[in-house]
Structure 1
């Protein structure tokens, strides 16, 4: 039997319809991905803006810029070169003895405006610190500044400033970087190995400036023979200020200014020897350096991070153990008062704010001398929300698993440990992530219980950055600390989010 063929017009219409359907599918997929991209920008926008602002010299600038000099290849190269000139280290920068730095500034002086050279000088800049330390010596007391005109194009003149830092002593020998020891009649230095040696002040310059140094400042010594001679302190910052007269304007410089005042006639550069890290990631370096504990020499920021990790680890471990046991007991074991216990011990506890028990819990932990990380962990030992999560998960697992284990002679705990718990991977992962995030971001109870700055968690430590500069807040430090505190939570979620996709509980039962 012969099958009749389709008309030519119908056969031609089929590919057109398929192409139309394909275009429609691609259109829907495109709109879906566009919507997801917009929503991701909405949720990630504040974090990305905070990340961008955390590297700026002025995070409060308005309007905010997306293209900033900290990410400009030319400016980064200039910052690296200035760091090499100032200390021989293009990454960390600084100013060391026997080094010379050249810094260029271009000034526009149109006709009718003053034609005088700009006023360029070093100025004191004491770094802000959460820890009370003695004022450190300033580069302006040791370095010399000279300015000359090196060119002119139209009404724009180029000036070159040379910052020279002569050594306090010209003795030859091995250079040693050290810190000064405790104040005494004889100046002492603490060598990198920890040994304390006397320092000989054999020049009038060294004797004149010895009282401007403190034990937290790094110095450079010359080891010649059996004696150590002070060569000069090492400065992390070299602040420079450029002032022009009315009618003049600064149009360019080796690196952009950190601050502009007096109607853009006064430019301040907080550091003209920054190096790569000191320019692009200066606020992040400050978060570690300016929280240094003078008694131990350890960064308090690192201590805060360690305390947060310890607290989060203890919370996660306790939740996995206690919440899984309690959730399984409430879901599968029959005992008197089970429903009442679930109602009062889980649901009612979640409805009562933790602030209601503030006074009683604080007094109890104070009497037990547990106003520390361990008391903080004990206060949230069992999470009611975690118990509810595990109970609901175990109730959704098939009972055939327990029946098979019971036939093989397994008891309740063996069934829980050998059969049910291995199948609860997704729920345990969700529980671990939520507990880690809750402990890492916890602020209320840490700020109530923790008193010593060495015991602070990261959230409490970051809140102290708001007290800087007379309560106005150092937003560069705040944003850099906030970005650093968000990174562990992001890493934990990205690493473990794949465990949310599916569960192997359904595949455990065959047939």
Structure 2
């Protein structure tokens, strides 16, 4: 047998250690690469949905990862336009007595006549789940002009000016409100809830008396106790730019929301957007287009509150009933325990909920519980939650109960003061799963809930799909879906460590 010299043996050993280290790093790299690829497949659709929820046209192809709504340049421009419109840099809108300027640059290739583009305000009436009133349009009240501002090569710059004159020249305190019910005299409901008669002091104001619908947002001037109609308020100022054949719009204060006629007709859905009306337009629409104009309450906000309330009831019931049933099945001895576990826990999880659809619906209808309380009563005890708590209690040391019995504690005292405090990780896991299940529940809420004011988010979003999906307005649907996913993500991220954390084993000292 050949014996290597000591220096050579050291080099061989060192080479072997480096080879093993490279192998470990290679395995770790492959593992992380695999996790990154899988996270892309799992999170990719969600992240793409979040990104598309900001777009004016989420159906664009190919889809862009860098969009104008998240660009600092255009966000700043939207802020400035909202300030010019009078509604502020965040809310936006067009108010009486304001003038807004919007710049566009048109390229006219050599040989093409330098014909200026045509600019016009067009009507834009959003679809609403609640309101059927047709609100006033900016094009009926504002004046528009287009002037050239310069030339650079074959690119000519133009400025579109939107001027919205006030209906009254009276000076005084300016307040906002909405028009009251039609009657002999025009009235307005102010922000403080007072209803006041309006004085129409100019021919322009008198001309719009019968064209403004009820609940139209308006601005009025108060002077000496008399209120004068200053003009309606517009959340949107839609603008359309048309160029001649061969010309192209190369730049603008904001990019167009839509292009038609081979890029010669460009639509800007709002040139006074503010940040909320530009970057978060679809999210704002989710609340505004489900609002009842009579009360100002948003159905989407009501759906969120209903879902939180239903989820809270589900979590509270699961913590109480599932922990009690799980402990009884795991630790107590009574006749028929195995039969109860097989019939009411395992078998209940095997039977689809649709099998009991008719019988449960008839029962709840007879009890008058076709509402959130009936929805909660239908899933009062979760079989999966009982199974989870039973398995957890069976894995806890029996020395805890023996120590409690020596101290004279009964079964309920042992459960309440000894076992339940040690079941924190299982209770948190149970609460998370029940919250997620209640938040995403769709089948039973769709069957039981009748009134749109009692809908949960999942049922409300299905109405979004029916109303807006046929029009291809998927930005609003995606915005609602993202808003509905945020609470579940937050709850899971905060409490995820409790899924793997357990302190039961440390309760007994050896």
Q: CA deviation at 1:407?
A: 1.4
**1:204-247 CA distances to partner (integer Å, 9 max, x unpaired)?**
10010122223322211111111010111111100001111222
**1:284-332 CA distances to partner (integer Å, 9 max, x unpaired)?**
0111111102332201111000000000000000001001111111111
Give the match for residue 169 of structure 1.
Answer: 168
Give the match for residue 239 of structure 1.
Answer: 238
Considering only aligned residues, what root-mean-square deviation do their CA atoms show, in Å?
A: 1.6
Other structure's SS at 1:212 match: coil
Give the match for residue 375 of structure 1.
Answer: 374
Q: Is the contact between residue 465 and residue 474 of structure 1 (CA under 8 Å) also seen in structure 2?
A: no
**2:381 matches 1:364:** no
**2:215 matches 1:210:** no
Give the match for residue 140 of structure 1.
Answer: 139
**Gapped regions of structure 1 (runs ≥ 5):** 1-5
Name whichever of 440-449 and 493-502 sits farther off: 493-502
Distance 2:243 2:251 in 1: 13
Distance 1:216 1:400 in 2: 69
Q: Is the contact between residue 466 and residue 473 of structure 1 (CA under 8 Å) also seen in structure 2?
A: no
Give the match for residue 24 of structure 2.
Answer: 25
Distance 2:20 2:189 in 1: 78
Q: Is the contact between residue 131 and residue 291 of structure 2 (CA under 8 Å) also seen in structure 1?
A: no
**2:228 matches 1:257:** no
Equivalent pairs counted in the alignment come to 507
Q: Is the contact between residue 104 and residue 161 of structure 1 (CA under 8 Å) also seen in structure 2?
A: yes
Q: For residues 264 and 473 of structure 1, do their structure 2 counterparts lie closer, same or farther at Cα, with a shift above 3 Å needed?
A: closer
Give the match for residue 332 of structure 2.
Answer: 333
**1:227-282 CA distances to partner (integer Å, 9 max, x unpaired)?**
01011111110000111122222221110100111111110000011111211010
Q: For residues 464 and 174 of structure 1, do their structure 2 counterparts lie closer, same or farther at Cα, with a shift above 3 Å needed?
A: same
Other structure's SS at 2:282 match: helix
Distance 1:35 1:469 in 2: 38
Q: CA deviation at 1:473?
A: 4.9
Name whichever of 246-255 and 56-65 sits farther off: 246-255
**2:106 matches 1:107:** yes
Distance 1:456 1:501 in 2: 35
Distance 2:266 2:90 in 1: 24
Q: Is the contact between residue 219 and residue 233 of structure 1 (CA under 8 Å) also seen in structure 2?
A: yes
**1:462-503 CA distances to partner (integer Å, 9 max, x unpaired)?**
111112258345311110010000000001111111112221
Give the match for residue 188 of structure 1.
Answer: 187
Give the match for residue 55 of structure 2.
Answer: 56
Distance 1:281 1:108 in 2: 31
Other structure's SS at 2:470 match: coil
Give the match for residue 354 of structure 1.
Answer: 353
Other structure's SS at 1:471 match: helix
**1:70-124 CA distances to partner (integer Å, 9 max, x unpaired)?**
1111111111111111115111111111111111111122234343211100000
Distance 1:19 1:39 in 2: 30
- TM, length-normalised to structure 1: 0.96
**2:420 matches 1:421:** yes
- TM, length-normalised to structure 2: 0.96
Q: Is the contact between residue 215 and residue 294 of structure 2 (CA under 8 Å) also seen in structure 1?
A: no
Q: For residues 49 and 469 of structure 1, do their structure 2 counterparts lie closer, same or farther at Cα, with a shift above 3 Å needed?
A: closer
Give the match for residue 86 of structure 1.
Answer: 85
Give the match for residue 400 of structure 1.
Answer: 399
Distance 2:209 2:13 in 1: 93
Distance 2:174 2:483 in 1: 36
Q: For residues 360 and 295 of structure 1, do their structure 2 counterparts lie closer, same or farther at Cα, with a shift above 3 Å needed?
A: farther
Distance 1:7 1:334 in 2: 69
Name whichever of 76-85 and 306-315 sits farther off: 76-85
Q: For residues 469 and 37 of structure 1, do their structure 2 counterparts lie closer, same or farther at Cα, with a shift above 3 Å needed?
A: closer
Give the match for residue 431 of structure 1.
Answer: 430
Alignment of 1:150-161 (within 5 A): 150-161=149-160
Distance 2:361 2:87 in 1: 53
Other structure's SS at 1:175 match: strand
Other structure's SS at 1:392 match: helix
**Gapped regions of structure 2 (runs ≥ 5):** none
